[in-house]
């Protein structure tokens, strides 16, 4: 029998994951978001109760998928006092999909165990379209028992599911994935920006890049968007800045100097400061192309 599912955090990723599981025959019983209109709209669409409290979420589901924005938001929904997912948590499984610091996942796991629940980190190296289609690339961290319980549900959300190891390890891998992706994105924006300044045909330049050592996955996903200034948001510049910061924190803990990651973080911070943080990460090209810049 399939578990009953609730979602905490129903922005673009969480909402599309909920739609996917509903389509797969799951009973998605509850949705919750601090921005209530998001939950109300999704609840009406998929027939889920719009929970007014986190404790109510636990009353309505056996598995709770959390997709929140950052460390602070994650700690808030697992607070040790007040309304929290720790209230009435006995027997629940929390599948935590946000990109947060590895230590936060460790702390949440400890709190969940203390409350009689299980916790699994499920880091997503994918975007909105993949969430809706059930083709996410998922990396998990946690106990074998938690993974085995979550596996059937996660398989219905993913095209690739990899159990990395203990809690925190998947978050470390995800931080490195995003760090390298962000470096590649910033580098591509500089290459195309310089090409534009030189008066080169950017369609030709992208084709040459794709056939040489300049090729990358980011070239395929972001190159045309950079050229055409189409920055519809799939992964925002603000999130890129945050995730680059997570990776740099890990590097600093190990005493490593990562100059490319540092420079990329500064570029994404600048993107946010100049009012482009809500654009897709491809919007970093607004900082490098001629005749672009501040809003």
Q: Is pLDDT above 80 for 176?
A: yes
pLDDT of residue 127: 85
Q: Is pLDDT above 80 for 1?
A: no
Domains in the chain, start-ordered, CATH in brackets?
A: 4-167 (3.40.50.720), 172-287 (1.10.1040.10)
- Which of the two residues, 294 and 234, has the higher pLDDT score? 234
209-265 pLDDT tens trace: 999 999 999 999 999 999 999 999 888 999 999 999 999 999 999 999 999 999 999
Q: Is pLDDT above 60 for 78?
A: yes
Q: What are phi and psi of 240, to 5 degrees?
A: -60, -40
Query: By C-alpha distance, which of 292, 168, 181, 189 is closest to 239?
Result: 181
pLDDT of residue 180: 97
Q: Which residues are paired to 250 by β-bridges? A: none
Q: Is pLDDT above 80 for 293?
A: no
Burial 3-29 (b: 16+ CB within 10 A, else e): bebbbbbbebbbbbbbbbbbeeebbbb
| SS3 assignment, position 98 | coil
Distance CA 158, CA 136 (A): 4
Distance CA 153, CA 136 (A): 12
pLDDT of residue 219: 97
Q: What is the pTM of this model?
A: 0.91
Distance CA 228, CA 237 (A): 17
pLDDT band at 294; cut points 50, 70, 90? low
Average pLDDT estimate for 39-61: 98
Give the C-alpha distances (Å, rounded to integers) separating 291 from 192, 193, 288.
13, 10, 9
């Amino acid at each position: 029998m399939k578990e009953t599912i609730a979602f905490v955090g129903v922005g673009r990723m969480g909402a599309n994951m909920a739609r996917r599981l509903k389509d797969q025959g799951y009973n998605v019983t509850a949705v919750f978001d601090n921005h209530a209109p998001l939950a109300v709209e999704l609840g009406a669409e998929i027939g889920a109760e719009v929970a007014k409290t986190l404790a109510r979420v636990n009353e309505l589901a056996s598995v709770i998928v959390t997709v929140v924005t950052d460390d602070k938001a994650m700690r808030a929904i697992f607070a040790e006092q007040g309304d929290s997912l720790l209230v009435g948590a006995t027997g629940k499984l929390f599948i935590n999909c946000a990109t947060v610091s590895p230590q936060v996942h460790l702390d949440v796991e400890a709190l969940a165990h203390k409350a009689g629940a299980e916790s699994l980190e499920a880091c997503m190296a994918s975007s909105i379209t993949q969430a809706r289609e059930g083709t996410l690339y998922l990396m998990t961290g946690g106990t074998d028992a938690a993974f085995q319980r979550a596996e059937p549900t996660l398989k219905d959300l993913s095209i690739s599911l990899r159990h990395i190891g203990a809690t925190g390890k998947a978050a470390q891998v995800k931080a490195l994935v995003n760090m390298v992706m962000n470096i590649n994105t910033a580098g591509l924006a500089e290459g195309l920006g310089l090409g534009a300044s030189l008066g080169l045909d950017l369609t030709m330049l992208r084709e040459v890049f794709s056939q040489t050592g300049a090729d990358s996955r980011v070239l395929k996903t972001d190159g045309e968007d950079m050229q055409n200034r189409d920055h519809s948001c799939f992964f925002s510049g603000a999130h890129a800045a945050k995730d680059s910061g997570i990776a740099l924190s890990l590097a600093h803990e190990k005493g490593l100097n990562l100059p490319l990651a540092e420079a990329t973080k500064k570029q994404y911070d600048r993107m946010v400061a100049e009012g482009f943080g809500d654009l897709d990460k491809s919007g970093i090209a607004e900082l490098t192309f001629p005749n672009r810049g501040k809003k």
